[in-house]
Amino acid sequence: MTTRTSVFKLRESSETIPELPADVKALPSLPKTRSGKLAHEKISQGYAAFLSDADDKSPFWDSYADGAIIYFAGNMKNLSRYPKDAKLFWAVFYSVVTHGLEEVISNPIIDLLVWDNGYAFATSHNSYRAYSGKSWKGASLNRMKYDESGRIYDQAFFYEDLAAMDSLVGELFDLPSVQNDVFEKLGIRL
């Protein structure tokens, strides 16, 4: 899959993210089970590949199990238009980025927590700005379920100000360039 990732930017400064005092910071804790360790490795490498400008996104794709599903938490009109299949979800996402977004900024600090019971969580701070000028900025929580091989099979995104994100996605999905690209490449009508 060829994608245009030049709109992705990493915020070079962590000044906007508050730092916890040393006495309340959590001690680093890594999973102890084999599947937990594999998940931590695959998810970490997947995030690094997703946020990089490198053409090789295989670590990102390798973090998903066959048949993995992705969805947004909350019953929102436009966000629910995304396909649930992970490969289709990300193909639609990249079409939206390519044809509708002028800028995507991701803070390089992504907090990842992997539990030994098959769950993992990541938090991040992002902003999206459409060519129309409409934008969304805030925090997101990514809840993942992983299998014995450490691959994600179920993923849910929780966004701050979900209504604003839903409105932005609706505007982007209604762009003829996005609709045509998704239909031509995937045969999906948004």
Sign, Cα dihedral of 80, 86, 92, 96? positive
Q: What is the pLDDT of residue 56?
A: 87
Q: What is the pLDDT of residue 133?
A: 96
**CA 87, CA 64: separation in Å to the nearest integer?**
9
Give CA separation, 134 vs 32, 34, 165, 190, in Å: 44, 44, 10, 20
The CATH number for 8-12+30-186, chosen from 3.10.580.10, 3.30.230.10, 3.30.360.10, 3.10.450.50, is 3.10.450.50
Intervals of the chain under pLDDT 50 = 1-6
Domain coordinates in residue numbering, the chain: 8-12+30-186
Q: What is the pLDDT of residue 131?
A: 95
Q: What is the pLDDT of residue 43?
A: 93
Q: What is the pLDDT of residue 49?
A: 87
Q: What is the pLDDT of residue 27?
A: 54
- Is residue 178 within 8 A of residue 99, CB to CB? The reply is yes
Backbone angles phi, psi at 32, to 5 degrees: -110, -20
E-strand stretches of 74-118? 101-106, 111-114
Beta bridge partners of 136: 128
Q: What is the pLDDT of residue 171?
A: 97
Task: Give the tens place of pLDDT for each residue, 41-81.
Answer: 999 999 888 888 778 889 999 999 999 999 999 889 999 99
